[in-house]
Structure 1
């Protein structure tokens, strides 16, 4: 099992109570949560463990998921010093991967993705942004329909390649809704608008790029202990210069998650997901290689027993 890739979930994996078992049973987890709260000026214990509507707001969702992922990784790493072949994240998860790879201090990462969430929110405030989940169509069919509608002036783009027959689109909410009959006619099993006010991974976020690049320049380092696989290219990188350019481009480019898993599956024994289990579900549709998820102390112990 030493031949592994560490993977980190993105938005959509959040839920009230995540990280609670770590917090209750680990002084290290408690310390990480307390320091993160001091860094960004809001209380992660109430955000993570008490009923609230902030956890669904992107500027809070992003640091919450990242923090829980990095706690899971840190607890694993305290016991097992295995170095993965690479680290890989889904969207926001790429920032978790960078921190796990040593290129981003975890507190800097928490503040960075909080600011990223704010930038994304502000970029989408006045443009009726939205996202749509599609099931049952192949990539080429979706891309052809989107390209034809773009020529007609519609603002719609493929945003997440999550698996065969599972794509998320981003763009103008009304334009996305207008495409539903076209996708259904083409054979889609589902075409559902998601309850989101941000259009991730499409050109509508270009206004956020310059400010994000400033934060990346400020907080990224050259201290990579392992390569990180880019959402934009599906290729590995290991320098600050590449990270800065690719994470800026990631804002307006689709997440090639499926392609990234397929690119590395033949060279690894397993994938380990830190802080969630959404990617484990996606991986079942993509690869025969096993994925193990660490979401609490019990699953941590089970995964550690494999090494």
Structure 2
């Protein structure tokens, strides 16, 4: 496992109670949560540990997930000197990966993704945005169907390539629902409308790009400790100039998660997921290489023991 690649989950991995074990047993985690709460004026102890409906709202989910991921990563690197060749994340997780690669201070990253969530929310106001998961269709079939439907005036795009036979599409919610029978006829085993009020990774977010670029310019450092795999290209980058362009493009481009894992799998013997276990599930569809998830102190100790 000394040749592991670090991976970071995205939106949809959030759940009440995440990070609680870190907070209860680690002074570092407690300090990180307290400092993040002060920085963006969000009480993360309430958001993360008490029942509420805000954790599913994009402007709160994004900083919460990133914060827990970076706590897990910090606790790991404090005790282990494994340096990955590259790091990557799924959508929001790419920002966690940037911070893990010393491209951005973690508090700047918390504020950046909070602002990113607000920009995405604003871009989708009044357009009835939504996302839908499709199971059982190959990439080409989904691409062809959505392309034909766009020519007919529907607002639908492939948004996340999560694994063979698992794609998420984004766009206008009514348009997505209207195409469910079409996808079933094409062989989809299941279509599930996701509890999302934004349409991530499609052109409906283009109005958010200029402001996100400005925030990236403000908070990204010039040099990174290691390369990051881009969701947009499924290949690596390692400069502020590239990061600004690619992370702005990421808002309106599909997440090539499956392609990213396939790109790096020959250069690693395992993956370590920080702060969640969603990617561990996705990776089972993509690669034979094992994925270890660090979500609490027990799983942290188990992964450290394997090294």
Question: What is the TM-score normalised by the length of structure 2?
Answer: 0.99
| Alignment partners' CA distance in 1, 2:278 and 2:223 | 28
Q: Does 1:289 align with 2:258?
A: no
Aligned to 1:131: 131
Name the SS of the counterpart of 2:55 in structure 1: helix
Instruction: Give deviations 1:121-161, integer Å, cap 9, x for gaps.
Output: 00001111010110000000011100100111111000000
Q: Does 1:43 align with 2:43?
A: yes
| Alignment partners' CA distance in 2, 1:42 and 1:90 | 24
**Equivalences for 1:54-73 in 2 at 5 Å?**
54-73=54-73
| Alignment partners' CA distance in 2, 1:106 and 1:223 | 15
Aligned to 1:142: 142
Name the SS of the counterpart of 1:183 in structure 2: helix
Name the SS of the counterpart of 2:247 in structure 1: helix
Aligned to 2:306: 306
**Equivalences for 1:156-235 in 2 at 5 Å?**
156-235=156-235
1:196 Cα deviation from its structure 2 partner: 1.2
Name the SS of the counterpart of 1:169 in structure 2: strand
Aligned to 1:31: 31
Aligned to 1:263: 263
1:223 Cα deviation from its structure 2 partner: 3.0
* Higher deviation after alignment, 219-228 or 10-19: 219-228
Runs of 4+ in structure 1 off by over 4 angstroms are none
Aligned residues: 307
| Alignment partners' CA distance in 2, 1:28 and 1:301 | 16
| Alignment partners' CA distance in 1, 2:264 and 2:20 | 32
1:4 Cα deviation from its structure 2 partner: 1.2
Instruction: Give deviations 1:157-213, integer Å, cap 9, x for gaps.
Output: 000000000000000111111111110000100112112110000000000000000
1:306 Cα deviation from its structure 2 partner: 1.6
* Higher deviation after alignment, 189-198 or 208-217: 189-198
| Alignment partners' CA distance in 2, 1:287 and 1:85 | 18
Aligned to 1:249: 249
| Alignment partners' CA distance in 2, 1:141 and 1:223 | 40
| Alignment partners' CA distance in 2, 1:168 and 1:275 | 22
Name the SS of the counterpart of 2:226 in structure 1: coil
Aligned to 1:53: 53
What is the RMSD of the two structures over their aligned residues, measured on CA atoms? Answer: 0.5
- Alignment gaps of 5+ in structure 1: none
Name the SS of the counterpart of 1:305 in structure 2: helix
